């Protein structure tokens, strides 16, 4: 079942880049930008993370918490965060629990080969845990502006 605007955001619990346990329910009362990306340290994923980093203070001022999710492990996330000085939380979804719940673990194709991977997608979740917006065609260099446009 594909998630849509107005649906309750599926609950999850995972580990962040520091090994801390993080659950969506920790953010009730706050707006959450839950963004899914394929892999740490790749060009598009780095551009997206750095755009969120560069606009982090203005997003925080608007009441947003940012959570990035990929299937990379905590160690990979920690290196990615340190390398690019990312001020927000990255969640390690090595068991593919979150990507499955949000419907972003999909069949992809590269050079004629099919494989399973994470679809780049952003969910904006309101203070009550309801999906306010879904951005399916993410502009990695302008992800922050794109999300603000989506909820305007």
User: Domain ranges in the chain?
Assistant: 28-151
Tens digits of residue pLDDT in 43-88:
999 999 999 999 999 999 999 999 999 999 999 999 999 999 999 9
Q: Could you give the CA distance from residue 50 to residue 41 in angstroms, rounded to a whole number?
A: 11
pLDDT mean over 14-22: 96
Residue 146 has pLDDT above 70, yes or no: yes
Report the run of H or E that residue 33 belongs to, with start and end. strand 31-36
How far CA 20 is from CA of 10, 16, 91, in Å, comes to 20, 5, 9
Q: What amino acid positions are annotated as catalytic residues?
A: 45
45: nearest Cα among 128, 138, 150:
138
CATH 3.40.190.10 fits 28-151, yes or no: no
Average pLDDT score, the chain: 95
Which pLDDT value is given to residue 1? 65
């Amino acid at each position: 079942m594909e998630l849509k605007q107005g649906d309750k955001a599926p609950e999850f619990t995972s580990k962040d880049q520091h090994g801390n346990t993080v659950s969506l329910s920790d953010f009730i009362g706050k707006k959450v930008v839950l963004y899914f990306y394929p892999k740490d340290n790749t060009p598009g994923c780095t551009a997206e993370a750095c755009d969120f980093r560069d606009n982090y203070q203005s997003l925080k001022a608007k009441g947003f918490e940012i959570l990035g999710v990929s299937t990379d492990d905590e160690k990979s996330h920690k290196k990615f965060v340190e390398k690019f000085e990312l001020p927000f939380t990255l969640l390690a979804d090595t068991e593919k629990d979150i990507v499955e719940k949000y419907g972003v673990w999909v069949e992809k194709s590269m050079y004629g080969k099919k494989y399973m991977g994470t679809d780049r997608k952003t969910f904006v979740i309101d203070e009550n845990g309801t999906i306010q917006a879904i951005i399916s065609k993410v502009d990695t260099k302008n992800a922050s502006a794109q999300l603000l446009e989506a909820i305007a």
